[in-house]
Amino acid sequence: MTDSKKVIEILTQISEQIQMEKEFLTELDNVIGDGDHGINMARGFKEVEKKLPDLTGKDIGTILKAVGMTLVSTVGGASGPLYGTAFLKASAAVGNKTEIDGEDFIAALEAAIGGIEMRGKAHEGEKTMLDALIPALNAMKKSYAENKDFKAALAQGVAAAEQGVEYTKTIIATKGRASYLGERSIGHQDPGATSSCLMLKVISRMI
């Protein structure tokens, strides 16, 4: 089981990891996007980090809702609405629980993906964060159904997300600014898929 305190620790680590990877994410976005993914994500999660001390002792749904609201209001470009919606939908899925297990996490991730699909009007195979998140979800579901081991399921999810990031190099972007490049977007990995994978890696490391 993962409690509220651990969720705050994980979010702090996600923020720190994004600050560390800011330049890399921005470089990826320079090639196929607006060149601001890393900068925007780092700014948004820095604001999230500032709010976390006030969320100590709150239920997990409340914590995730605060993250979502902060990202919507502070992250520019497409990432703010997409990641913000993801956290808000995950928050609704978790509700007022103060502890979650693998089943709860998978349900929250599924709800988050649904929010991204709805807000971004996107599907798997369009060179977006969904190309990392959907394979991760499917791998986690399969693993957790087989052995009910959350940590093992997360490891499978991360491996699938990494493969998804690699897959984005092979396909044409059809969403967002990257879609303007057409075939020239081939050979470049998607920044959103990369940041999604990065978050899953942090979670996996800390569970």
Q: What is the mean pLDDT of residues 185-197?
A: 90
Give the residue carrying structure tokens 């057409």: 182
| CA 142 – CA 123 distance, rounded (Å) | 21
The closest of 20, 19, 18, 39 to 29, measured between CA atoms, is 39
Does this model's pTM top 0.75? My answer is yes
- Give pLDDT, residue 177: 62
Give the residue carrying structure tokens 């399969």: 142
pLDDT tens, position by position, 84-138 = 999 999 999 999 999 999 999 999 999 999 999 999 999 999 899 999 999 999 9
Tell me the CATH class for 2-206.
mainly alpha
CB neighbours of 121 closer than 8 A, spacing ≥ 6? Answer: none
Mean pLDDT, all residues of the chain: 94
Whether residue 182 has pLDDT greater than 80? no
